[in-house]
Structure 1
Amino acid sequence: MARTSLDAVAVAAATARLSDVDRVLPDGRQPVHTCYVPASKVTGDVLRDWGAQALAALDEHPDALAAVLPEDLAPRIRERVRAKLVAEPVEDLRIDFEDGYGAPADEVEDADAERTAGIVAGWRDDGVLPPYVGLRMKSFDTRVLRERGIRTLDIFLTALGDPPPGFVITFPKVTSVDQVEVFGDVLDLFGIPLRFEIQVETTQSIVDPEGRLAIPRFLAAGRGRVSGLHFGTYDYTAGCGLGAAHQHLAHGACDFARNVMQVSAANAGVRVSDGSTNVLPVGDAVAEGWRTHYGLVRRSLAHGFYQGWDLHPAQLVTRYAAVHAFYLEGVEADARRLKAYVERAGGTAFDGASAGKITSALLDEPATAQALSSSFLRAVDCGALDEAEVLGVTGLRVEDLEALASRKA
């Protein structure tokens, strides 16, 4: 018996309860790092000082840096790292009132909160802010910490006035949905739009007591305020019961936690950031510190974590060296792949007269186009490539790449 075509009304009724898949992508540029500086050590010159110390390390230890770089790209990377350290050494600064700061007397923390807010306000007024800036407050673990953290935040925001673009609050050691919900309620009391990032550094922030993944519920409890998930290496590995010798970013326990972070944040408009290494490039340990940091940054990049923590100015050298090497090593292959989309479309990817408008035919494989375009945009943002270089290798302008990366082309 021959079958007839499906009835359109019946199909509509059968699929009525479904909705379109909602993919929310993060807005704007993602910094390659977050520099954590204890509030007591933050001065008006801290950004310039970090850049100057990084440049000094770059000049004093050329062999140590050369040892970790791909030989064919080493001169180019060194030149670009130097330019980056001069122009914009810090992309994201977090003024730390938590573990790196300690628990001084109330009057001391009050004074530091007001003083550092004044520094940020001065940078804002002078137009010298880094792209992102904010503070890490104390956790909600105990009543004492909650009250002190909220008090510090209140003093800081009162002294700051209008938060600048890119202002973010780091909420550490989250263990429950209730903490996220209450923190959101506290932020509502300030009467201004405020976003925060959750530090994933407890086992309860990965799997809750009922055996469910915790982060999706944290994000829902944040009611759109959560901008990022930042991994905390040492609290998390200690919480897993690992010994000191095994508390490092490359441990399998960290990989599991980061995979949960990554999957939970995907399509939620939330960025992920890797944690830190406490192997610092100082004194006689510069070579070891740079080798360790460079390797971990490259590992993070390969796993799709494009941001991480830096705890010392000399780590800026290997942060930018690793990031630049990552993008420069892949530029030719990535460019060929993007050009292949153009060729399969049967023409050029853009019309010069229309300032780079991309044809819809390029979206035959949108996920691949999105990933490749996003990579080139990140390379431009961090200084590994400039717009002219990207246009030269891909034939695409930045606006073309942005359209592909957002799947709006």
Structure 2
Amino acid sequence: MRTSLNADQVESRLARLSAVDEDMARRYPGAGAARQPVHTCYVPAGAVDSGTLRQWADTALGTFDEHLPEPASLTFLLGLDGPVADAVHPRVRQKLAGAAVEDLRIDFEDGYGAPGDEAEDADAERTAGVVAGWLRDGQQPATFGLRVKSFDDAELRARSVRTLDVFLTSLLQRWGSLPSGFVLTFPKVVDVAQVEVFVELLELFEQQLGLAAGSLRFEIQVETTQSIVDGSGRFALPRFIAAGAGRVSGLHFGTYDYTASCGLTATHQHLAHGSCDFARHAMQVAAAGTGIFLSDGSTNVLPVGEQRDHGWRNHYDLVRRSLAHGFYQGWDLHPAQLVSRYAAVFAAFRETAPAQAHRLAAYVGAGGGAVLDEPATARAMASAFVRALDGGAIDAAEAQAMTTIDEPGLRALARL
């Protein structure tokens, strides 16, 4: 068959794209096998002790049992359909009675304040001992770590590094190695140089403490407008991620600092504001394909006292909204928020599971379907089932009965 172009001419031009392929593979490796928690509990360092995890779980379960004793309670409070409430209620209770806290940050920043060097040194050493105790007893959350002080205040930078130094040194002395699931949160980033310096300091820690290179990983908190667009008008987050040199594990949104930096008054500082939607979408664009987890922010409307039901409904609605925006993790400030967190996560999955299961079955050729799904959509649907399996919204047998795909098959499809 005759062609118009010389094969060597075509090959020489296409060869130039090899560098693009290599760069794309390096920058956008896709989702890994690590499990993303559905939330992060935020606890000021001064309040963290050996009983913190149990206290959060017991408070959440006690509140659930007292005020939402049966599935119909979820229908009345949150508007769940009967069958969904019937499926969600026992699963929420089981979750609260088991591994209620999936992720926890010992906070040395805004929630902690500046009590003075002597007190902060003592808390850093003490909380390292608390974590070592959790590890010895097998009680630690799947992921946990510190939120250090930000680098945006010149007077606090050295204090931030010292707190991390005291904590890491004490933890390694007590435990002997860096525990799996350990992560740092780096708040209020306003310039790529802050990320670069933080990475250099983490490298020094690894060298001095005998840790593997790259083992200290961190999340960047998106809490400032400069985290989205820098002073030169450039999109900042991709540069932050690149400066992280493979250490960035997540981008976490900060509701109140961000909305305040946009000039919003307290009345309008909430997760459903359009300014937050803009920031979230910027985070999604920056992190897409990188394997970096996204986490939404918190709400300070707590489900306590006379405002309990209002607080639960508000939190439930915000979590559902976050899920609809593709944010599968968020920050919780109070144990009672675990109730509405898991109710929202489980209900959102259960409501969509039958339709997604039918489409997955059709995709793998196990049944007919009226929707012709692309591989990327099938991957997203399989990912939803994997998250549900990991979190407790469904078990492997039910997932296979619905989709015709066993658990290893769902996990493999989710990572394609």
Q: TM-score, normalised by structure 2?
A: 0.91
Aligned counterpart, 1:10: 9
| 2:29 equivalent in structure 1 | 24
Count of residues paired in the alignment:
390
Report how far residue 405 of structure 1 moved.
1.2
> Partners of 2:4 and 2:409 in 1: how far apart?
41
Structure 1 residue 236 displacement after superposition: 0.2
Residue 303 of structure 1 corresponds to which residue in structure 2? 325
Which residue does 2:166 correspond to in 1?
Answer: 155
- Confirm whether residue 215 of structure 1 aligns to residue 237 of structure 2: yes
Q: Which moved more, 1:118-127 or 1:86-95?
A: 118-127
Q: 2:4, 2:407 → 1: CA distance?
A: 46
Consecutive unaligned residues in structure 1, runs of 5 or more: 347-362
CA contact (8 A) 2:361 2:405 kept: no
User: What's 1:49 paired with?
Assistant: 55
Rounded to whole Å, the distance in 1 between the matches of 2:278 and 2:406 is: 37
In structure 2, how many angstroms separate the alpha carbons of the residues matched to 1:80 and 1:344? 29
Q: Mean alpha-carbon deviation: is it higher for 63-72 or for 368-377?
A: 63-72
- Name the counterpart of 1:135: 146
Per-residue deviation at 1:138? Answer: 0.2
Q: Alpha-carbon deviations, 1:290-325, whole Å to 9, x = none?
A: 010000000000110000000000000000000000
Q: Percent identity?
A: 63
Q: Is 1:40 paired with 2:46?
A: yes
For normalisation by structure 1, the TM-score amounts to 0.92
C-alpha displacement at 1:4, in angstroms?
1.9
Q: How does 1:76-225 map to 2 (within 5 A)?
A: 76-161=87-172, 162-191=177-206, 192=211, 193-225=215-247
Note if contact 1:174-1:200 (Cα within 8 Å) is conserved in structure 2: yes
Tell me by how many angstroms 1:364 deviates: 8.1
**Is 1:318 aligned to residue 340 of structure 2?**
yes
SS in 2 for 1:18: helix
Tell me the equivalent position of 2:80.
70
Kindly state the Cα deviation for residue 145 of structure 1 after the two structures are TM-superposed.
0.9
The structure 1 residue matched to 2:66, chosen from 38, 60, 73, is: 60
Structure 2 CA distance, aligned partners of 1:50 and 1:69? 26
3-state DSSP class of the match of 2:106?
A: strand
In the alignment, is the contact (CA less than 8 A) between 1:35 and 1:309 conserved in 2? yes
Q: Does 1:380 align with 2:389?
A: yes
Partner AA of 2:225 in structure 1: T
51-60 or 21-30: bigger deviation: 21-30
Structure 2 SS opposite 1:143: coil
Counterpart residue type for residue 331 of structure 1: A
Contact 1:198 1:226 in 2 (8 A): yes
What CA deviation, in whole Å up to 9, does each residue of 1:37-56 have, x standing for no partner? 00111111111110100011
* Residue type at the aligned position of 1:92: D
| Aligned counterparts of 1:56 and 1:344: Cα–Cα separation in 2 | 44
Look up the equivalent residue of 2:180 and give its one-letter code: P
Which residue is equivalent to 1:353? Answer: none
In the TM superposition, what is the alpha-carbon distance from 1:270 to its structure 2 partner? 0.7
In 2, distance between residues paired with 1:78 and 1:238? 37
The CA distance in 2 between the partners of 1:11 and 1:403, in whole Å, is 36
Would you say 1:252 and 2:274 are equivalent positions? yes
Distance, in Å, in 1 between the alignment partners of 2:97 and 2:156 is 38
C-alpha deviation, 1:17, in angstroms: 1.5
Residue matched to 2:380? 371
**Does the 8 Å contact 1:30/1:307 carry over to 2?**
yes
Deviation for aligned residue 1:390: 0.6
Task: Supply the AA of the counterpart residue of 1:236.
Answer: Y
One-letter amino acid matched to 1:296: L
Provide the rounded CA distance (Å) in 2 between the counterparts of 1:307 and 1:35: 11
- Which structure 2 residues correspond to residues 250-399 of structure 1 after superposition, within 5 A? 250-343=272-365, 365-399=374-408
Instruction: Tell me the SS of whatever aligns to 1:35.
Output: strand
Counterpart contact for 1:64–1:287, Cα < 8 Å? no
Deviation at 1:7, TM superposition (A): 2.9
Deviation string, structure 1 residues 267-287 (Cα, Å, up to 9, x no partner): 112111000000000110001
Which amino acid in 1 is paired with 2:148? M
Rounded Cα–Cα distance in structure 2 between residues aligned with 1:64 and 1:245: 30
Q: Deviations over 1:15-50 (max 9, x none)?
A: 112132423234310000000000111111111110
* 1:397 Cα deviation after fit: 1.4
The CA RMSD measured in Å over matched residues stands at 1.7
